[in-house]
Amino acid sequence: MADGETFEQECKAQFDPRKMEPIVRTIAAMANNRGGFIFIGIEDAECRVTGMPNTAFQDTDIARIVDRTKVLLTPTPVFYKEVIEVGGLLVGVIFVERQNVRPVIVCRDASGLEDGTILFRYSGQSGKIKFGDLLDILRDRDRAVQKDLLASASRLSEIGADRALIVDTDKGEVDAGSKRIVIDRSLADQLEFIREGEFQERDGAPTLRLVGDVHAVNRRGRVVERIEGQALDAETVLLAYLGRERVRSPTQYVCISAKVQRQWLPLFYFIELAAIDLKTAIKTFEETGAVYRLSKQRALERLKGQRSAFEQPVGASVAVVAAIVANDLDGLRGKFTDSEIARGIRGLPDGFQPVQQLFELLKDLYVESRKDPSLRSAVYRASARLDELER
């Protein structure tokens, strides 16, 4: 890179998933300044592209990096992971967004990280923040808080305190006092309610929590249908697909791919359930607000046939593919590892018709992979491949 390491660029020769602290340190520093890019596979001395020496970066799910970041930093910065090709060499990229509410603070001691430290990105290095930069951050935060308070007070005065509701986005609750909240049927169809006690927070945007029951009403306020609470996330979509469930709002199961970090979610199965054509599905998905832009882009490429979960089988996965094509599934787990089976499914050729036993097999692999993030990622992509073959 001609510019070398700057305020917004950090170069690393390799990525070690067992030692993520240097990556986390840079993420914290960049989030507290202007954001930036961390490049893996570029020597930091001369900033020369050498390519990644192994597939550790590609094989590490972003959720694993996020989990480690959550443990070490508060609040958790927003960042994205990608792999690009430069001159025939693969380079890993982590894009870090500027934190909306600064500062990001180290909340636990680790290698190169000290509890309570605020890191800041300076030209070519990440270090402890200087007094002047910290003062600027705190002043910016105070100005933003005052601006929000004035705007809220002005709006409350216009509405009237007796007609206002209080929404607590931290607890995810709406305080209506003794008032009753009425939701029109057409609006209720577009909402997803999370019942209290049934939802475990995952990566993504905050979710309002449903305490009690919600009822759809007509214009006169008469209850016409009770709405069941549901928690829609990547795992729910995957298990619904593998379980061949006929879900109530299949279009939402397609659109969720724009709202979660997890990629390789099934799409075409739910499009068929929704009884809409691919063109309509693409239009609906394009109009969906993206929480994770990269996830939305990748899913859109899959819908348009520009991206596939297919992976050329090599090694043991070649034998897995042969066994599956021959419908020799009964002894598969006795002959191959779970990871080899998942990779083999990703290598199934076009024209192959998945059988029920394959869905059950992937579901078993997923359920048993709770402590193996790499296997879970492999199952997601294998499921996406089956979904493509069903088109």
pLDDT band at 23 (very low <50, low <70, confident <90, very high): very high
Collect all residues with Cβ–Cβ distance below 8 Å to 122 and sequence separation of at least 6.
7
Following DSSP, what letter does each residue of 150-199 receive, concatenated?
HHHHHHHHHH-GGG--EEETTTTEEE-TTPPP-EEHHHHTT---EETTS-
Asked if the model's pLDDT at residue 194 lies above 90, the reply is: no
Asked if the model's pLDDT at residue 189 lies above 80, the reply is: no
How do the domains of the chain map onto residue ranges? 9-129, 167-227, 234-303, 316-389
Angle, vertex CA 97, rays to CA 83 and CA 305, nearest 5:
40
Collect all residues with Cβ–Cβ distance below 8 Å to 384 and sequence separation of at least 6.
264, 265, 266, 267, 302, 309
In this prediction, residues 153-181 reach a mean pLDDT of 69
Per-residue model confidence as pLDDT tens digits over 125-148 = 999 999 999 999 999 989 988 988
Three-state DSSP at 72 gives: helix
Closest listed residue to residue 133, CA positions, set 103, 95, 105: 103
pLDDT band at 195 (very low <50, low <70, confident <90, very high): very low
Largest CA distance in the chain: 72
Collect all residues with Cβ–Cβ distance below 8 Å to 338 and sequence separation of at least 6.
365, 368, 369, 375
pLDDT band at 196 (very low <50, low <70, confident <90, very high): very low
Measure the CA–CA gap between 391 and 387, rounded to whole angstroms.
Answer: 7
Identify which has the larger pLDDT, 115 or 189.
115
Amino acid at 338: D
Asked if the model's pLDDT at residue 216 lies above 70, the reply is: no
Are 362 and 382 in contact, with CB atoms under 8 Å apart? yes
Percent of the chain with pLDDT over 90: 61
Q: What was the pLDDT predicted at 149?
A: 86
Asked if the model's pLDDT at residue 224 lies above 50, the reply is: no
Asked if the model's pLDDT at residue 262 lies above 80, the reply is: yes
Measure the CA–CA gap between 335 and 229, rounded to whole angstroms.
Answer: 42
Q: What was the pLDDT predicted at 203?
A: 41
Q: What was the pLDDT predicted at 169?
A: 54
Measure the CA–CA gap between 373 and 377, rounded to whole angstroms.
Answer: 6
Q: What was the pLDDT predicted at 187?
A: 54
Q: What was the pLDDT predicted at 226?
A: 42
Residue reference for tokens 């090709």: 85
In this prediction, residues 367-373 reach a mean pLDDT of 81
Q: In which region does residue 87 sit, left (phi positive, over 0), alpha (psi from -120 to 50) or beta (all else)?
A: left
Q: Where are the alpha helices (DSSP H) in the chain?
A: 21-32, 56-59, 62-72, 131-159, 185-188, 234-242, 250-255, 268-273, 278-286, 293-303, 316-325, 332-335, 338-346, 356-367, 373-389
Measure the CA–CA gap between 346 and 387, rounded to whole angstroms.
Answer: 11
- How does DSSP classify residue 120? E
In this prediction, residues 309-333 reach a mean pLDDT of 93
Measure the CA–CA gap between 267 and 199, rounded to whole angstroms.
Answer: 23
Q: What was the pLDDT predicted at 175?
A: 66
In this prediction, residues 287-299 reach a mean pLDDT of 88
Please give the CATH number for the structural domain made up of 9-129.
3.30.950.30
Q: What was the pLDDT predicted at 257?
A: 92
Per-residue model confidence as pLDDT tens digits over 74-85 = 999 999 999 999
pLDDT band at 231 (very low <50, low <70, confident <90, very high): low
Sheet containing 89-96: give its strands across: 9-12, 36-40, 89-96, 79-86
Measure the CA–CA gap between 260 and 349, rounded to whole angstroms.
Answer: 28
